[in-house]
Amino acid sequence: MLQILHLEDNAVDAELIERLLRKQGIIAHFTRVKDRVLFIEALQQTRFDVILSDFEMPGFDGLSALKIASEQAPDCPFVFVSGCLGEEAGIESLTQGASDFVSKDRLGGLPAAIRRVQRESAERTRITNHE
């Protein structure tokens, strides 16, 4: 079972994403947080397999979350799931260390993105363990 940390201030969006992933066969325990303090607490308390993050939230933003995650959980894939993340911002997020980005308008691509970043993470771990 995957451990997914979901940084999302909108409960309806969070539920929609969780339902979609379960329907597509992704078995996971979801920890939803909606602000900086809870995000940091969650990272300190649990080892997550994937982080999903909205891009803009009141008082906190996804790029700040990405920076925190890269420091506290550098091996954990980070996927932006946002309604306001345009192509340019999406590409910029990748250059800053995000694993992928998916528009909330195109959530159908999220299960494949999660499976892909999980495979890549497992491969990096395998290579690191063999060196």
Domains of the chain: 2-130 (3.40.50.2300)
- Label residue 125 by pLDDT band (50, 70, 90): confident
pTM (two decimals):
0.91
Bridge partners of 60?
57
pLDDT of 22 reads: 95
- Considering only CA atoms, which of 12, 103, 14, 18 is closest in space to residue 55? 103
**Residue that is written with structure tokens 């201030």 in the block:** 9
- 14-32: average pLDDT: 96
* pLDDT digit string, tens, across residues 76-120: 999 999 876 666 776 777 788 899 989 888 899 999 999 999 998
Token pair recorded at residue 77? 């894939």
